[in-house]
Chains A and B, each alone.
Chain A
């Protein structure tokens, strides 16, 4: 009897993973299709857009033509493009003539570091405040929290970044306003994630470097985290209110459990399950905000690189950057889906739709 049950649980997890994998492949297919199509839509020659070789000699053009199959029909061109992608070749940047994949790999970790820290801050503050608002529903605390979160949600992020720099960097001088770490520290660029690089390097000033990097990341991460935090407040509040109205909480009250026990053992667990699902959806929003913030704070991330490429009309870089960024967002989305399925047994069952 038990082995049947265990097998059932395992097959559920397996089918869930397979369905997610299927979705991932389909999405990557669509994204590469989109990025391939962009090379046609951008102004300029298609071959130059897709490869980035602006100053190619005629012989090099012929070789490129072979690589990208420009003579064949469009399906073969697409397959050639995907083939190049699998080999890690995203072309070279039209502006700097450097390989795009190396540029992306050098900038992406900084963005990952910034967005993950911002996500963490947003969740750390947003979710408990949302829970508190729901528990004090229809009282003053609830209204105050809702008003503040509405204002926080409406502030344009670029303005907030500028104000933050003005107040904290210039007037108060507490926190630095640009870059990942002070130039005095010579930390080798190993992974690109500053904190890991500090731990891996053999500089004698590790602790100071760590402090300095934290100071640099604090302001941009907080600026990014504000809008998502307010969204989390609202999501957590709705989830907790729904949970508190549900039948099993009423039963738990009738069972005689104390208020604290109900909240900690039952309500938070169930509400978190609903919230985690939406966290993955909010990550895309967060990355967008991070892009603009990177420009303001001169953070060496992929957002700033992408926007500079747009100023410079570097079409190959835009294609590659878009693909990399969307793939990153989608992978995070799938990871949160997995966490959600692990927490909530109901989600593993087969469902219609995606």
Chain B
């Protein structure tokens, strides 16, 4: 007589755990993740860790090169700028500005974008198609251009920059949420929930969101790397954070004038931006790769 169950019990971890497991496998991605965590800790605790305050002027030590130079001084590890401010402290403080704020910006626009996007996916008709076309047009305008225009309306300054970037990132999240939710709503398990009598909101919350979470996370990492670059670009153009704030883009702008005599004021902030963006991109790539692998298996 044939027996039914002779195969070994196989334990299937939950989708999120599986994602984490796949994510852990690539060593380069874990390195990027480590850097990302390092930057986050730095952003959170920088005021406590920095050796000097970021705006403190050391008038005796103007334009000191980094410590490994002949003229350098170990107490100012990465040198100072033209007003005697310690580069290391400014860079660390800049982490919480450029990197930390980008994280906050992405979070806010994620929430708003998801809400608008699911609302737009649920409605249909002329209103929604108008919204769709409007969204497509906004998406075709490059993000930095739109941010610059919004800053021109609101005025310069770090706060306005943040609002501008939030407003620029929201359409991206709306677009992706709308597409993902519409796609999920076509699937059969949503139909089954509906037949059970669930309202749209409940389907959205219980069934659809856990499934589109992965796409949202991958888009969020993309948005974060673009947000870091945008905050820095606006700072560089003088439209964002102003001196003496220690934002990396503004530091770069400050360093252009000192380019020939003190090139480290240009190298170091740029390297910091590069480091942060590479770490974010590695995490994002790893996430997308893990998603792809877990879908295939």
Contacts and interface: CB of A to CB of B under 8 A. Distances in A.
- The answer to A–B direct touch (Cβ < 8 A) is yes
A163 interface: yes
Contact of A41 (B153, B278, B285): B153
Interface string B236-258: 11110000000001001000100
B56 interface: no
Most buried by A among B144, B152, B238, B239: B152
B282 A150 contact: yes
Interface stretch (A24-32, A56-64, A87-95): A24-32
Contacts of A285: 142
Interface string B247-276: 001001000100110010010011001100
Contacts of A330: 140
Interface in B120-139: 133-134, 136-137
Contact of B281 (A150, A295, A326): A150
20 contacts: A30-B133, A38-B153, A41-B153, A43-B155, A147-B28, A150-B282, A153-B281, A154-B274, A154-B277, A156-B229, A156-B274, A159-B252, A159-B274, A162-B256, A163-B270, A170-B260, A288-B145, A307-B148, A310-B239, A326-B140
Contacts of B297: none
B8 interface: no
A202 to B, nearest CB: 39
A127 interface: no
Interface residues of B, number: 41
Contacts of B287: none
B54 interface: no
B149 interface: yes
B145 A322 contact: yes
Interface in A316-354: 318, 322, 325-326, 329-330, 333, 354
Contacts of B281: 150, 153-154
B149 A322 contact: yes
A292 interface: yes
Contacts of A284: 140-142
B225 interface: yes
B177 interface: no
A249 B254 CA distance: 55
Task: Give the size range of A's interface with the partner.
Answer: 35 or more
Given A38-B149, A318-B149, A329-B141, 4 more contacts: A150-B278, A155-B274, A159-B269, A291-B145
B137 A292 contact: no
Contact of A156 (B28, B133, B273): B273
B232 interface: yes
A257 interface: no
A195 interface: no
Interface string B152-179: 1101000000000000000000000000
A31 B256 CA distance: 36
- What are the 7 A-B residue pairs with the smallest beta carbon separation, nearest first? A159-B270, A288-B142, A154-B277, A288-B144, A284-B142, A154-B278, A30-B137
A292 B152 contact: no
Contacts of A151: 274, 278
Contacts of B134: 30
Nearest to B266: A162
A287 interface: yes
B143 interface: yes
A166 interface: yes
Contacts of B142: 284-285, 287-288, 329
A125 interface: no
B231 to A, nearest CB: 10
Interface string A239-278: 0000000000000000000000000000000000000000
A166 B278 contact: no
B291 interface: no
A42 interface: yes
Given A38-B149, A291-B145, A333-B140, A311 B238 contact: yes
B145 A325 contact: yes
Contacts of A166: 259, 263, 266
B229 A291 contact: no
Contacts of B232: 156, 158
B225 to A, nearest CB: 7
B122 to A, nearest CB: 18
A244 B247 CA distance: 46
A154 B228 CA distance: 10
A150 B285 contact: yes
A303 B201 CA distance: 45
Given A31-B137, A150-B282, A354-B136, A292 B233 contact: yes
A240 B145 CA distance: 32
